[in-house]
C-alpha cells in the first residue's frame, strides 16, 4: 500500500522545488547528525544524503518505485547503509552508534517496514539484473505474463499456441530462478 510520503518520490521525479525543499528541511539534519556521530563530516553527510536521493530517483525513474513506509525511515536506512559502506572502504574508522538514536520517534514498526522496503528493492534489482541476462523471448513472455495479461492473450500477442506459451513461461521461470539462486547476493536477501 502506497505511503503518503510517496509525495517525496514524486517530487524527485517531477523536480518539485517546494516539496524537495520540505524533504531537505525534514530529513537532512537528522542524516547529518547520524553521520557526524559516526566519524563523518558535514560534507560526508551532504554527499551521502545526495547519493541516497539520487539512488531513490534512479530507482523510481526506471522501475516505478512505490514507497510503502515512511520516507524518514526509508531514507535513514539507505543513508545508514551507504555510510557503513563508506566507512568499510575507509577501513580506518569504526561506527560509534549503530542503533536508531535520534530517530526513536519513527517507531520500530516503521523501521521494519523500511527494512522490508529496502530488502524488496534489492530483490527486485537482482531479478531485473538476472532477467536482463536472459534471451529476448524469455524476457518478453515473462514481462507480459507478469503484467497481469492472461496467458491466452500472451500466447496471442506472441503468435504461439497457449500450450507453448505456458511451457515457455515455465522454462523461463526455471531459468530465472536458477540465475537468481546462483547469484552471490541471493543468500543475503533472505528469500
Domain residue spans of the chain: 6-122, 133-189
Task: Calculate mean pLDDT across residues 129-158.
Answer: 90
Render the burial of 74-92: b for 16+ CB within 10 Å, e for the rest: bbbbbbbebbeebbeeeee
pLDDT digits (tens, 9 = 90+) for 43-74: 999 999 999 999 888 888 887 678 888 888 88
Task: Calculate mean pLDDT across residues 157-184.
Answer: 92
pLDDT at 91 over 80: no
- Asked if residue 57 lies in contact with residue 13, where contact means CB atoms within 8 angstroms, the answer is yes
pLDDT of res. 106: 47
Among 76-90, 138-152, 160-174, name the most confident range: 160-174
Length of the chain, in residues: 191
Specify the DSSP element, H or E, that contains 132: helix 108-132
pLDDT of res. 112: 66
Tell me the pTM.
0.53
**For a pLDDT cut of 70, what percent of the chain falls above it?**
83
Amino acid at each position: 500500500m502506497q505511503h503518503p510520503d510517496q509525495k517525496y518520490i514524486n517530487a524527485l521525479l517531477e523536480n518539485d522545488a517546494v516539496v524537495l525543499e520540505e524533504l531537505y528541511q525534514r530529513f537532512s539534519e537528522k542524516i547529518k547528525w547520524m553521520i557526524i556521530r559516526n566519524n563523518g563530516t558535514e560534507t560526508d553527510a551532504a554527499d551521502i544524503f545526495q547519493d541516497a536521493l539520487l539512488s531513490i530517483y534512479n530507482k523510481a525513474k526506471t522501475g516505478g518505485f512505490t514507497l510503502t513506509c515512511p520516507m524518514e525511515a526509508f531514507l535513514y536506512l539507505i543513508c545508514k547503509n551507504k555510510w557503513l559502506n563508506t566507512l568499510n572502504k575507509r577501513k580506518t574508522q569504526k561506527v560509534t552508534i549503530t542503533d536508531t538514536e535520534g530517530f526513536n520517534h519513527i517507531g520500530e514498526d516503521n523501521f521494519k517496514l523500511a527494512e522490508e522496503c529496502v530488502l524488496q528493492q534489492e530483490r527486485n534489482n537482482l531479478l531485473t539484473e538476472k532477467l536482463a541476462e536472459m534471451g529476448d523471448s524469455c524476457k518478453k513472455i515473462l514481462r507480459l505474463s507478469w503484467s497481469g495479461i492472461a496467458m491466452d492473450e500472451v500466447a496471442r500477442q506472441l503468435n504461439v499456441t497457449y500450450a507453448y506459451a505456458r511451457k515457455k513461461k515455465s522454462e523461463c521461470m526455471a531459468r530465472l530462478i536458477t540465475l537468481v539462486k546462483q547469484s552471490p547476493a541471493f543468500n543475503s536477501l533472505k528469500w
